[in-house]
A and B are shown apart, each in its own frame.
Chain A
Amino acid sequence: MDTATKPQQIRLSTTPSRADLEALKIGDIVYLDGLIYTAREGVYKKVIEEGADLPLDLPAESAVNFHCSPAATVNPDGSFNMGAVTATASFRFSKWIGPWIERSGARIIIGKGGMTSKDYREHFVPNGAVYLTTVGYGTGALLGRGIKQVKAVHWNKELGLAQAMWVIEAANMGPFIVDGDLAGNSLFERENARIAANLDKVYEGTRPAVLRRFGETDDRTDEVIG
Chain B
Amino acid sequence: MIAIETIQETAERLMEKAAIEIPEDYLDGLRTMANTEDGDLSSFVLQAMLENYEAAKQDRRAMCGDTGCPRWYVKMGNEARIEGGPIALEAALRRATAKSTNEIPLRPNRVHPLWRTDHDNNVGIGAPEIEYGFEPDGEWIDLVTVHKGGLFGTDYRMLFPSDGVEGIKRFFLDSLVAFGKRGLACQPAIIGIGLGGSKDTCMVLGKRAACLRTVGSRNSDARIAAMEDEFKALGNSIGMGAMGFVGKSMVVDCNIEVGYCHTGGMQMSVHAFCLSSRRAVARIHGDGRVEYRTDPDWFTDYQRRESVEWTPPQSLSKSA
Contacts and interface: CB of A to CB of B under 8 A. Distances in A.
Contact of B105 (A72, A141, A224): A72
Contacts of B158: 211
Nearest to A80: B105
Nearest to A82: B105
B170 A207 contact: yes
Contact of A71 (B41, B107, B237, B239): B107
B69 to A, nearest CB: 12
Interface size bracket, A side = 35 or more
Interface in A202-226: 202-203, 205-211, 220, 223-225
Given A206-B170, A225-B182, A73 B105 contact: yes
Contact of B238 (A68, A161, A202): A202
A192 interface: yes
A188 B244 contact: yes
Count chain A CB atoms within 10 A of each CB in B48, B102, B234 and give the residue with the most.
Answer: B48
A84 B56 CA distance: 8
Contacts of B238: 195, 198-199, 202
A84 B118 contact: no
Contacts of B45: 135-136
B201 interface: no
B163 A209 contact: yes
Interface residues of B, number: 68
B8 to A, nearest CB: 20
B161 to A, nearest CB: 9
B151 A84 contact: no
A184 interface: no
Interface in B204-239: 234, 237-239
A69 B66 contact: yes
A86 B242 CA distance: 16
A81 B62 CA distance: 12
Given A137-B183, A137-B186, A223-B181, A73 B246 contact: no
Interface stretch (B75-83, B171-179, B289-297): B171-179
B89 interface: no
23 contacts: A69-B65, A69-B66, A71-B106, A83-B105, A83-B106, A86-B65, A87-B65, A88-B66, A113-B182, A113-B184, A140-B52, A140-B56, A140-B62, A140-B276, A143-B65, A145-B61, A187-B41, A191-B246, A207-B170, A209-B170, A210-B162, A220-B177, A225-B182
Interface of B: 38, 40-41, 43-45, 48-49, 51-53, 55-56, 59, 61-67, 102, 104-109, 111, 116, 118, 120, 151-152, 157-160, 162-164, 166-167, 169-171, 173, 177-179, 181-184, 186, 234, 237-240, 242-246, 274-276
